């Protein structure tokens, strides 16, 4: 019943606030749209607590630097965005273009100054990330990004992608790692919700100036390490490192390669195609 009540509230709130935000997007500036979305996020966090029984505790806010910075977060749950967005007054965020398939949402995202990139990555996605995040940086906004690019199951992780490092290098901004165990209570995009206390923990900022390999290794180590600790804390189980798995786009490419005949197998010994 908790899951049903929450999901009913989720869709009711989402449709109502998305409609209001779409109308607000017709007005100059992003103030009206941003105000509506902040109200939406707060109502969703309340619904998580009151209907789904998911309470949020936030640790490490004292570690946050002053001024603009990048938040690089673990992503286990559709609720991650609500929980993190609710911590800040003006947060730009990186999201996949899959959200634009929802009616009106694309307009709202553009008005909010969201950084929308192609889910499959590649050069086009990197260029979009650079250009759109530059606007947020110029406005002095904090930026939220999920370095894995996809929702991971609890106990799993994807390859950390280089987009966050390019932002870190190009904008000379510190990166604040964010660990979470919210996926235990709201797993990925599942209907089922599990009551309990979920934790978000901001970790020590990574200072500017690191090379790509060192930065990504450090970011992954601290985010995955603390996430594993938070999972163990909530479940009472031993700390277990996450297992690396292929991301959906990597699986798709691997399947495509397996279906595509190797050119060398279609040639005879003289080099002619058979």
How many other CB atoms are found less than 10 A from the CB of residue 227?
27
For residue 29, what pLDDT band results from cuts at 50, 70 and 90? confident
Domain boundaries of the chain, sorted by first residue: 56-259
For residue 270, what pLDDT band results from cuts at 50, 70 and 90? very low
Strands 196-202 and 91-96 turn out to be unpaired
Average pLDDT over residues 254-271: 60
User: What's the pLDDT score for residue 259?
Assistant: 81
User: What's the pLDDT score for residue 137?
Assistant: 75
User: What's the pLDDT score for residue 269?
Assistant: 44
Q: What is the pLDDT of residues 166-214, one digit of tens each?
A: 889 988 889 999 999 999 999 999 999 999 999 999 999 999 999 999 9
Strand partners, 58: 200
Quote the tokens at residue 93.
């965020």
Query: 25 or 59: which carries more pLDDT confidence?
Result: 59
Integer CA distances (angstroms), 252 to 208, 247, 249, in order: 35, 9, 5
For residue 273, what pLDDT band results from cuts at 50, 70 and 90? very low
pLDDT at 253 over 90: no
Q: Taking all residues of the chain, what is their mean pLDDT, rounded to a whole number?
A: 87
User: What's the pLDDT score for residue 264?
Assistant: 44
User: What's the pLDDT score for residue 186?
Assistant: 96
Q: What is the pLDDT of residues 90-122, one digit of tens each?
A: 888 888 766 666 666 777 887 887 777 765 555
User: What's the pLDDT score for residue 118?
Assistant: 63
Average pLDDT over residues 21-28: 88
- Residue for token digits 């996926």? 183
Integer CA distances (angstroms), 174 to 58, 97, 206, 234, 247, in order: 20, 26, 6, 29, 26
Strand partners, 178: 73, 202
pLDDT at 260 over 70: yes
User: What's the pLDDT score for residue 263?
Assistant: 46
Q: What is the pLDDT of residues 63-98, one digit of tens each?
A: 999 888 999 999 999 999 999 999 998 888 888 766
């Amino acid at each position: 019943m908790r899951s049903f009540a929450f999901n009913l509230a989720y869709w009711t709130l989402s449709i109502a606030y998305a409609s209001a935000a779409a109308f607000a997007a017709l007005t100059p500036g992003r103030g009206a749209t941003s105000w509506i979305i902040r109200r939406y996020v707060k109502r969703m966090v309340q619904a998580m607590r009151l209907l789904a029984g998911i309470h949020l505790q936030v640790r490490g806010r004292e570690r946050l630097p002053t001024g603009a910075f990048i938040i690089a977060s673990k992503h286990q749950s559709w609720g991650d965005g609500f929980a993190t967005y609710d911590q800040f007054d003006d947060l730009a965020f990186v999201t996949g273009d899959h959200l634009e398939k929802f009616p009106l949402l694309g307009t709202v995202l553009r008005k909010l100054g969201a950084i929308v990139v192609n889910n499959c990555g590649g050069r086009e996605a990197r260029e979009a990330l650079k250009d759109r995040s530059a606007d947020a940086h110029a406005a002095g906004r904090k930026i939220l990004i999920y370095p894995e690019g996809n929702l991971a199951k609890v106990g799993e992780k994807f390859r950390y992608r280089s987009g966050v490092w390019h932002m870190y290098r190009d904008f000379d901004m510190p990166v604040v790692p964010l660990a979470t165990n919210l996926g235990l209570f709201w797993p990925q995009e599942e209907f089922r919700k599990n009551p309990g206390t979920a934790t978000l923990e901001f970790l020590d900022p990574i200072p500017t100036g690191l090379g790509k390999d060192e930065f990504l290794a450090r970011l992954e180590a601290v985010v995955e390490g603390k996430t594993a600790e938070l999972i163990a804390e909530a479940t009472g189980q031993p700390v277990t490192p996450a297992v690396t798995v292929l991301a959906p786009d990597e699986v798709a490419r691997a399947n495509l390669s397996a279906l595509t005949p190797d050119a060398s197998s279609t040639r005879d010994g003289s080099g002619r195609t058979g």
